[in-house]
Structure 1
Amino acid sequence: MKNSKTIFFLALTFLFQLGVAQEQQGSKEDQFEPSPVNQPGREYPMVNAKGQVRAQIIAPEAKKVQLDIGGVKYDMVKDDKGVWTGESAPQDEGFHYYQLNIDGASVPDPGSLFFFGANRWGSGIDVPARDQEIYELKNVPHGAVEKILFPSESTNTSRTAYVYTPPGYHKNPKKRYPVLYLQHGYGENETSWPNQGKANLIMDNLLSDGKAEPFIIVMTYGMTNEIEFGGLRDFDIKPFQTVLVDELIPYIDDNFRTKANKENRAMAGLSMGAFETKLITLNKPEVFSSYALFSGGTYNPEELKGRTKPDLIFISTGSKERPDAVKTAVSELKKASFNAVSYVSEGTAHEFQTWRRSLYQLAPLLFKTQK
């Protein structure tokens, strides 16, 4: 009888401790921490492991303040000191644009760093991701990101581009590199891939792990002729095609140590940048050997008929976008003997986590047989 009581007591103790552990685990998921892309020293905005975003702003005279993220506005609550606080429903992993709405006026959150997206400089937040190590800042050799100005006769101005050169580029003046021309999406610009996309850190980490060949990445502004949102059918690719093919590429080949031939040149883009990539690679098949579309359409064998086969066609999307269409397109390309690869980012939509992962998957496939 005494042994039975002892066993019963131990069982109750175990169940109690298990319940405490589960409660502590749950509270850890609920715990908010400052976003990694906050202004220096700023506590807010905050984010937790569930993906909820908590924002705070001092606005004692305001009548209504909302947190606007993911297409939904969340009411914030004011305390007796005029400080408004509110939080969102869980967001997908990765980077998101957001803003605050104060009495009907949408404004950036002064607590976050600013990012160019949605045709403006505004706030951004990074929700913890299970695979964030692919773009984390690590103690590995780092490449350089350089802002350049290149002359553009067709637009009668000097245009901006950002150029990533891999680790060791400046130590070996005789070595030459392939080049990836990487385009942003609608409402973004040449800063988007280095800032939101963390393209340089993705490459640094891949190279450190020996998973990719070193190459240069060039990122420039693609909206040479402006269009309103929803007016994609009115977009004329020719002005940007001229800037890219006739002006930027020659400048890069003249000023950086590139392997200046088709076999060592690739083009990729996200969303609107994927649309541009598709049009330019179809129009200029002699310029690029590898094509990649992130969340922005597909190729079909008929479109590529009569052209030299590219070394690689890479098409990706988020699982919340059009994964079946991408898989079907790549299957048809493979049947037509194209080297085609599909990638689906699990649990993400039309957002930078999809595109960060896409670049991470694409890079090891590029320039495997350099010439």
Structure 2
Amino acid sequence: MKNLLRQILAVFVVLIFLNQVLDAQKDFGFKPAASNIQGSDFPKISLDNSVYVRLMAREAMKVQVQGGDGLCPKPMDLVKDTAGNWNAIIPSAGPGFHYYWFIVDGVRVNDPGSDTYHGYGRPTSGIEIPVAGEDFFHAKNVPHGDVREHWYYSDITGRWRRAFVYTPPDYDKNPKKKYPVLYLLHGAGENERGWSLQGHMSFILDNLIAEKKAVPMIVVMDNGYATAKNAAAATSGFSMRDMTKMAETLEQVYIKEIIPNIDLSYRTIPKRESRAMAGLSMGGMQTMLIGMNHLELFSWYGFFSGAILGGIMDDPKNAFNGAFADAKAFNEKVKLMWFGAGSGETQFVKMVDDTKKKLADLGIKSTSYISQGTFHEWHTWRRHLNEFAPLLFNR
């Protein structure tokens, strides 16, 4: 009798949930996400950016959904309907791109309705939430540049490495023209595809160049992981020690391999004043660790939610072989020190404020930007690139 009552109660709960879902779809205009695989009805997004997810798993005992900070940072339970579909509505997601996944009886799986992107160290489902009033990262009817796949062999790592290289719209039309270069780094758990796929880097630059807000430039997006030949690979989880060690190896790759290789393969302006370096999260830390030790190579720096951790700025005057010790010389040599974060990633906002204050106390000039309503996710960094790129190579 008790089991029968439990079954009836379970069916009643499911019917209530499905009725709420149907009402929500009708009231809030749920429609398939633009990022869905062709023909997939789910996930769906409402007018208030709530996300309706569904997974068919008839034999499963428990299904949850989880994702990035601006979507669903803690596991959320789904409810099973009579057809074997598990359903949930994630309320009011943040703007832009988010990673997410299902947890089926304790096993993490991707959503078959969405495309996957390299994030969290593996192919991971992604969803694009509409951003009202913003189209700077969309493909528009303007001249478009190319994103080229560039392979080179690294003697330092003993491996073939891949970079993606953006060339501006007029690159092939003006064979005698040379261009400045932005070296743009990804974050931990991602790879060299991140900026062009999740970040929409090429559309952002195309639109800025078409509007004459940015100088036409080459953008190099190399792989941010580098382990010296015959050295042990970094442990899972990327400790501060591992990231610092990778940055040391990556520094040698940049100095001895990737920069000379790019200068040889593309029509660059091979001067410090015509090179910039920027990165997000781990890539921001790498920009600090590599860039501040090589002021002879770069004049423009961007730290997008930069992971300025591990005490690297505890003693700023003596950090990086005294790079900041002579403020007048530094300010004359470095054209831009740019810091950014999303308002929802409070730890990184604090890093921005603390680092800027330390630099200001030494007389070092810097500027910053906080992306309102975003988190440690791609729409923060899209906005950062959109704000940062127009400041490059213009003086």
* TM-score interval for Structure 1 and Structure 2 normalised by the shorter chain: 0.7 to 0.9
CA drift of 1:83 comes to 2.0
CA distance in 2: counterparts of 1:287 and 1:58, whole angstroms: 53
CA distance in 1: counterparts of 2:287 and 2:79, whole angstroms: 45
> Corresponding residue for 1:4?
none
2:60 is the counterpart of 1:62: yes
Q: Which one is further off, 290-299 or 237-246? A: 290-299
CA drift of 1:77 comes to 2.2
CA drift of 1:131 comes to 4.6
Alignment length (residue pairs): 344
CA distance in 2: counterparts of 1:50 and 1:327, whole angstroms: 32
CA distance in 1: counterparts of 2:65 and 2:370, whole angstroms: 30
Q: Which one is further off, 80-89 or 341-350? A: 80-89
2:382 is the counterpart of 1:356: yes
RMSD: 2.1
CA distance in 2: counterparts of 1:310 and 1:49, whole angstroms: 45
Which amino acid is 1:323 matched to?
Answer: V
Pick from 60, 73, 92 the counterpart of residue 71 of structure 1.
Answer: 73
Structure 1 SS opposite 2:276: strand
Structure 2 SS opposite 1:277: helix
CA distance in 2: counterparts of 1:158 and 1:325, whole angstroms: 35
- What does 1:1-16 align with in structure 2 at a 5 Å threshold? none
CA distance in 1: counterparts of 2:124 and 2:358, whole angstroms: 41
> Corresponding residue for 1:319?
343
Structure 1 SS opposite 2:75: strand
- What does 1:142-291 align with in structure 2 at a 5 Å threshold? 142-225=144-227, 226-229=234-237, 231-234=239-242, 235-236=244-245, 237-291=247-301
1:89-122 per-position Cα deviation (integer Å, ceiling 9, x unaligned): 3221111110011122110101111100000001
CA distance in 2: counterparts of 1:364 and 1:206, whole angstroms: 7
> Corresponding residue for 2:5?
none
CA distance in 1: counterparts of 2:340 and 2:203, whole angstroms: 20
8 Å CA contact retained: 1:312, 1:338: no
2:332 is the counterpart of 1:330: no
CA drift of 1:333 comes to 3.8
Structure 2 residue runs of 5 or longer lacking an equivalent are 1-23, 228-233
Q: Which one is further off, 256-265 or 337-346? A: 337-346
Structure 1 residue runs of 5 or longer lacking an equivalent are 1-25
TM-score if structure 1 supplies the norm length? 0.87
Structure 2 SS opposite 1:268: strand
Q: Which one is further off, 321-330 or 249-258? A: 321-330
TM-score if structure 2 supplies the norm length? 0.82
Q: Percent identity?
A: 41
CA distance in 1: counterparts of 2:166 and 2:85, whole angstroms: 42
> Corresponding residue for 1:36?
34
> Corresponding residue for 2:393?
367
8 Å CA contact retained: 2:316, 2:359: yes
CA distance in 2: counterparts of 1:29 and 1:223, whole angstroms: 47
Structure 1 SS opposite 2:117: strand
8 Å CA contact retained: 2:65, 2:102: yes
CA drift of 1:233 comes to 3.0
CA drift of 1:210 comes to 1.3
> Corresponding residue for 1:3?
none
CA drift of 1:326 comes to 2.1
CA drift of 1:51 comes to 2.7
Q: Which one is further off, 339-348 or 186-195? A: 339-348
8 Å CA contact retained: 1:166, 1:214: yes
CA distance in 2: counterparts of 1:280 and 1:29, whole angstroms: 52
1:5-31 per-position Cα deviation (integer Å, ceiling 9, x unaligned): xxxxxxxxxxxxxxxxxxxxx989822
